[in-house]
Amino acid sequence: MHILITDDEAPARGELTYILGQLLPDATLHEAKNGQEAVDFLASNQIDVTFLDINMPGMDGLTAGAEIMGMDQPPLIVFATAYSDHAIEAFELAALDYVVKPFDERRLEKTVQRIQETLGKQGEVEAQHAALRAVLSEMVGREAGQTSLKPAIQKLWGERENGNRLLVDYGEILFVEADQKKVFMATKGGDRLQVRQTLKELEERLDKKKFVRVHKAFLINLDHIVEVVPWFSGSYMIKLGPESAEIPMSRRYAAKLKELTDW
Question: pLDDT tens digits for 136-192?
Answer: 766 665 433 444 444 445 778 889 988 888 888 888 999 999 998 899 999 999 999
Same domain, 132 and 170: no
User: What CATH number does residue 36 fall under?
Assistant: 3.40.50.2300
Same domain, 31 and 104: yes
Nearest-5° angle of CA 55, CA 60, CA 63?
135
Same domain, 18 and 127: yes
Show which of 111, 127, 145 is a domain's final residue: 145
Check residue 150 and report its DSSP letter.
P
C-alpha to C-alpha distance for 241 and 223, rounded to whole angstroms: 9
Provide the 10 A C-beta neighbour count for residue 214: 25
Same domain, 194 and 132: no
CB neighbour list of residue 65: distance below 8 Å, 6 or more residues apart: 52, 77, 79, 91, 95, 132, 136, 140
Kindly provide the b/e burial profile for residues 125-145, where b requires at least 16 CB atoms within 10 angstroms of the residue's own CB: beebbebbbebbeebbeeeee
pLDDT digits (tens, 9 = 90+) for 68-79: 888 888 898 888
Q: Return the SS3 of 15.
A: helix
pLDDT above 80 for 21: yes
User: What CATH number does residue 232 fall under?
Assistant: 2.40.50.1020
pLDDT digits (tens, 9 = 90+) for 75-126: 988 888 776 554 454 455 456 777 888 888 988 999 999 888 888 777 777 7
C-alpha to C-alpha distance for 20 and 15, rounded to whole angstroms: 9
Q: Return the SS3 of 110.
A: helix
Residue 140 pLDDT: 60
With contact defined as beta carbons under 8 Å apart, do 65 and 52 qualify? yes
Per the domain annotation, does 20 fall within a domain? yes
Same domain, 138 and 168: no
Q: Using 50, 70 and 90 to split pLDDT, how confident is the model at 59? A: confident
Which residue range forms the structural domain that includes residue 108? 2-145
Residue 37 pLDDT: 94
Same domain, 24 and 94: yes
Residue 192 pLDDT: 94
Q: Domain total for the chain?
A: 2
Same domain, 100 and 8: yes
Beta bridge partners of 166: 158
Mean pLDDT for the stretch of residues 209-238:
90
Same domain, 116 and 224: no
Q: Are strands 192-195 and 49-53 parallel, antiparallel or unpaired?
A: unpaired
Residue 138 pLDDT: 60
Mean pLDDT for the stretch of residues 250-261:
82
Same domain, 133 and 177: no
Identify the residue with better confidence: 147 or 133.
Answer: 133
Q: Are strands 182-187 and 236-240 parallel, antiparallel or unpaired?
A: unpaired
Per the domain annotation, does 116 fall within a domain? yes
Same domain, 134 and 189: no
C-alpha to C-alpha distance for 239 and 224, rounded to whole angstroms: 8
Identify the residue with better confidence: 126 or 254.
Answer: 254
Residue 179 pLDDT: 92
Per the domain annotation, does 150 fall within a domain? no
140: left (phi > 0), else alpha (psi -120 to 50), else beta?
beta
Per the domain annotation, does 19 fall within a domain? yes
Show which of 110, 145, 180 is a domain's final residue: 145
Residue 251 pLDDT: 85
Out of 28-42, 100-114, 130-144, 226-240, least confident range: 130-144
Same domain, 217 and 109: no
C-alpha to C-alpha distance for 126 and 110, rounded to whole angstroms: 21
Check residue 4 and report its DSSP letter.
E
Q: How many residues does the chain have?
A: 263
Residue ranges of alpha helices (H) inside 120-180 are: 122-139
Per the domain annotation, does 247 fall within a domain? yes
Same domain, 211 and 98: no
Show which of 121, 145, 169 is a domain's final residue: 145
